[in-house]
Amino acid sequence: MNNTKVALVTGANKGIGYAIAEGIGRLGYTVIVGARDETRRDDAVEKLHAADTDAFGVTLDVTSEASVAAAAKTIEERVGRLDVLINNAGISGRAEAGAQDPTTLDLGVMQTVLETNVFGVVRVTNAMLPLLRRATSPRIVNISSNMGSLTLQTGPILAAYASSKSMLNSITTQYARAFNDTNIIINAACPGYVATDFTGFNSPRTADQGAVIALRLATLPDDGPRGGFFDDGGVVPW
């Protein structure tokens, strides 16, 4: 195990996840690209190598206990610890035909969204905790959305997606309380409305701009904030 810091980014094969991976690679971290799609994962690793970033990929389906456990084992064998975990993998869920209108909510859609956006984050975080605890200043960043803000109530009505981000914010605060007397710092980040396939590229805001807050929270000093919700403008109201 060498002194180079190591960061795992889930869903890092494209969009904001890749921008985060690229950004943290520029800071000198070894980057682990966690993704289900083998071809896109390998392509992302090749692009990072071309940018002079030390990187490798791991198969990671956040909805699968076996996949997450196998990824943790691979990371332990290859690098021995994690300094940063960025839980970026997420889905919006099917929305047509009133599937995410609360009055006609498709509970199957909601369950699917929660499985990735909330349960997947818990599954990955808990599997990686032994590796994070070996680091000097471990950081966890959960990629959320201001659509999960109960105060702002932004964006279209997407009852499954927005609720999943509200729950993600809540579980982030619970982790922060559990980590209160440790060196692990966890926060939630809102990248904003970014031009990715997630949004149909319907925004002037770039993935690199969306990655800024995640990179800031991933590299916080030891006296940095804990259990907060931030975008690149500052604190996002709950």
Q: Is residue 172 classed as helix, strand or coil in its secondary structure?
A: helix
- Out of 18, 29, 161, 175, which one is annotated catalytic? 161
- Out of 5, 18, 29, 165, which one is annotated catalytic? 165
Cα gap 223→234, rounded to integer Å: 17
What order of strands is seen across the sheet that includes strand 84-87?
Answer: 55-59, 30-35, 6-10, 84-87, 139-143, 185-189, 229-231, 234-235
Q: φ and ψ at 44, to 5 degrees? A: -65, -40
Query: In this structure, are strands 30-35 and 6-10 parallel, antiparallel, or unpaired?
Result: parallel
Catalytic status, residue 73? no
Contacts of 73 (CB under 8 A, 6+ apart): none
Catalytic status, residue 161? yes
Instruction: Yes or no: say if 105 and 135 are a contact pair by the CB < 8 Å rule.
Output: no
Residue among 88, 18, 89 nearest 55 (CA)? 18
Residue among 184, 180, 8 nearest 81 (CA)? 8
Q: φ and ψ at 141, to 5 degrees? A: -125, 120
The count of C-alpha atoms lying within 13 angstroms of the C-alpha of 1, restricted to the half-sphere facing its C-beta, is 13
Kindly list the catalytic residues.
Answer: 161, 165
